[in-house]
Structure formats: C-alpha cells, structure tokens
C-alpha cells in the first residue's frame, strides 16, 4: 500500500529514531517554518520520472537519532575554516584514522568559493563541509535499515507489528518507493552509499560548489524537475533556457538526502543497488569507483564514470570510506583529541 502526504508533519520532518526502545527527535532543518517545509512536499506522486536525475517525490525518511550536532552558516570560507579548527576538525587527521568527524551541519556553502586562490583551500572547504553531511545522511539510512531488519525478522517470526511499527514501515516504503510487503526490495533500497562516490558526484555536478545551482539553490547533484510545485531554479545551457528546472533545496543536507533517495529508489539505478548488495554479501567495503560504472543513466556523457573515478583517485576520496562520526559532544571531542582511539 502506497500513501501520499499532505503536510510536513505527516511526512515526518521531525527526524525520529529508536534508541533503547525510546524515540528521540531532532529537527535538522532549523529556522524553517512548517509551511516552508510543507512546500517541499508534493501532495501526490507522479508518473515515472523522465530522467534518472529527477529524484523520487521528496519525503524525509523516518527515523534517526542525531548526537551533538552543531549548525554552521558562515558567510566566508575563512570563517568556516575557523569553525572547523575550533571543533578540532582536520581532514588529514581523518584520513590518517586518528580523528573522528564532528557532526557539523553546514546549511550552505560560503559565497566566496570561486574567489579562493588555491585549489587546496577550496578542497578543504568543500570536502570539509560535505563529509559530515554525507556521513550523517548514511547514518540515517543505516539506522533505518537496522530498524527495518528488526521489523522484518519480527514479521517473519509470525509476530504482529504494533500500530506504530506498521506505520513506520509504511512510511519507509513510501520514501523508497517500495512495496512494504517485499522484504528483498526494501533491503535492496534501504542502504548507505559510498562516501567517495557521493563526494565525487557532488564535486563534478557542482564544480566544487561554485555552480550557480549550488550557490543559489544548495543543489549539488544536478537533479532536475519538471514540476511547478517543487522548488527549482531556471536551468540554462549556452545561454539557452532549458525545458526543465534545477532542483533547489532549503539547505545542503536536503540536497544530500534527495540524492541518496534518488539512487536508492529510481529504477534507473537498480543495477547499482544489486552490485552494492553483492559487495555487502561478500563482506566487502562499498567501492565508489566500482559503483560509478552503474551511473550511465545519471548523465548524458559516456565518460561520466571515468570522470568520477578520476576525481576519486586524484583526491583520495576512497580513503574517506573509513571515516567515523563523533559520538560525544563537541566539547568532549576537543578534550579528547589527543587521545582518540579509532577502534573505540
């Protein structure tokens, strides 16, 4: 059974998660009214998208606990880097495995990225901004996956789901455009995406965050819409207005979530999901360079996968697959920075 939502509250904009049987909630998109949130939700689903870049009707996934999140909205790259330093956030240390990634929720990229002199500084700002968001978005998905597995096991054992569990499962199936009775389809769709692949696509599609769509609409992944009730920007190429609009988002995290929802839901990427499941079954780490080969329908260019693999290789993005989010408060992270145990 598929359901449509008419309000932000019904769709679950309050991110709720199961912790020791209790529900904890945190609204991640702060400073946005309920009406503004509701405006992001079309009332009903539409026919199959005309392009694989068009994300499935955007509704937030049910269920996520978030710990020690700090919200950032810095106007300049210098100010943002200072905030990173204050949180003891160092990408080199993350790559070395000696430091975790603080839960920094940056709402928008600073407006001076294009004016930065060095590519290295732009890289520090862009990847530094995106990495916590990608890890938190994957955490949301994996938290929902664990709850999904619990409910599927319960159902398979012949136990009745509670009303709340039943509704949660329906919400999850709606979000991923899946049949709530099809366990295999749900498990195929509700899973994390490689950090390296996500970062590489954000870099390629947004020009390291310098594109007009990234600056004006927090749009990082080149997603499109033909719907008038979905926020978007006029799309142009070579001075010509195109027939579609570029999706626009309230903040960067919503862009990341919508991208992950697209790859996890759209039938164009079923082979990617099947290969991901095969990697999981073999106990292997998700391979962004490998899965890039299944994104042929994401872009018109035949060399798209090659470009993504080049970005992953030249920027050592695959090394971020082992990055871990901090579990304590930011203050505790600062105090323990010298004693961090990557195995803890």
Are 150 and 168 spatial neighbours (Cβ–Cβ below 8 Å)?
no
Residue linked to tokens 């010509």 = 240
pLDDT tens, residue order, the chain (344 aa): 434 333 233 333 223 333 233 223 333 333 333 333 333 333 333 333 333 433 333 344 444 444 567 888 888 999 999 999 999 999 999 999 899 999 999 999 999 998 887 888 999 999 999 999 999 999 999 999 999 999 999 999 999 999 999 999 999 999 999 999 999 999 999 999 999 999 999 999 999 999 988 898 899 998 877 566 666 666 666 666 655 677 888 899 999 999 999 999 999 999 999 999 999 999 999 999 999 999 988 887 889 999 999 999 999 999 999 999 987 544 444 444 433 333 33
- Sequence length of the chain is 344
C-alpha dihedral, 42 to 48 to 54 to 56, nearest 10° = 50
pLDDT of residue 335: 45
Are 100 and 326 spatial neighbours (Cβ–Cβ below 8 Å)?
yes
Residue linked to tokens 């990634």 = 101
Are 192 and 138 spatial neighbours (Cβ–Cβ below 8 Å)?
yes
CATH of domain 8-339: 1.10.530.10
| Residue ranges per structural domain of the chain | 8-339
How far is residue 140 CA from its own chain's centroid?
A: 9
CA-CA distance, 218 to 212, in Å (whole number)? 9
How far is residue 274 CA from its own chain's centroid?
A: 19
SS3 of the chain: helix, strand, coil, percent, to 5: 50, 10, 40
pLDDT of residue 230: 62
Q: What is the pTM of this model?
A: 0.77
Looking at residue 101, the DSSP 8-state letter turns out to be B
pLDDT of residue 2: 38
């Amino acid at each position: 059974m598929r359901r449509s939502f008419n309000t932000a509250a019904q769709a679950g904009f309050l991110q709720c998660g199961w912790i020791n049987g209790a529900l904890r909630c945190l609204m991640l998109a702060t400073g946005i009214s309920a009406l503004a949130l509701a405006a992001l939700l079309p009332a009903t689903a539409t026919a199959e998208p005309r392009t694989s870049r068009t994300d499935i009707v955007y509704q937030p996934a049910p269920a996520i606990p978030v710990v020690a999140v700090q919200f950032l909205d810095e106007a300049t790259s210098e100010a943002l880097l200072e905030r990173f330093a204050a949180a003891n956030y160092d990408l080199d240390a993350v790559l070395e495995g000696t430091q975790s990634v603080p839960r920094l929720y940056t709402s928008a990229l600073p407006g001076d990225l294009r004016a930065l002199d060095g590519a290295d500084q732009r890289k520090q700002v862009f990847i530094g901004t995106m990495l916590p968001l990608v890890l938190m978005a994957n955490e949301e998905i994996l938290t929902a996956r664990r709850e999904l597995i619990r409910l599927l096991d319960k159902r398979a054992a012949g136990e009745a789901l509670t009303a709340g569990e039943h509704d949660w499962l329906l919400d999850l199936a709606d979000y991923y455009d899946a049949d709530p009775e099809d366990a295999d389809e749900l498990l195929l769709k509700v899973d994390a995406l490689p950090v390296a692949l996500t970062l590489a696509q954000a870099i390629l599609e947004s020009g390291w965050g310098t594109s007009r769509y990234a600056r004006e609409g927090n749009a990082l992944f080149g997603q499109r819409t033909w719907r008038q009730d979905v926020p978007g920007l006029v799309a142009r190429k070579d001075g010509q207005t195109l027939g579609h609009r570029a999706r626009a988002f309230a903040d960067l995290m919503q862009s990341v979530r919508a991208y992950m929802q697209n790859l996890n839901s759209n039938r164009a990427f079923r082979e990617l999901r099947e290969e991901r499941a095969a990697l999981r079954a073999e106990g292997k780490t998700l391979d962004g360079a490998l899965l890039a080969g299944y994104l042929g329908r994401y872009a018109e260019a035949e060399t798209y996968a090659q470009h993504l693999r080049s970005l992953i290789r030249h920027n050592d993005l695959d090394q971020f697959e082992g990055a871990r989010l901090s579990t304590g408060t930011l203050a505790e992270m600062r105090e323990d920075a010298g004693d961090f145990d990557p195995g803890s």
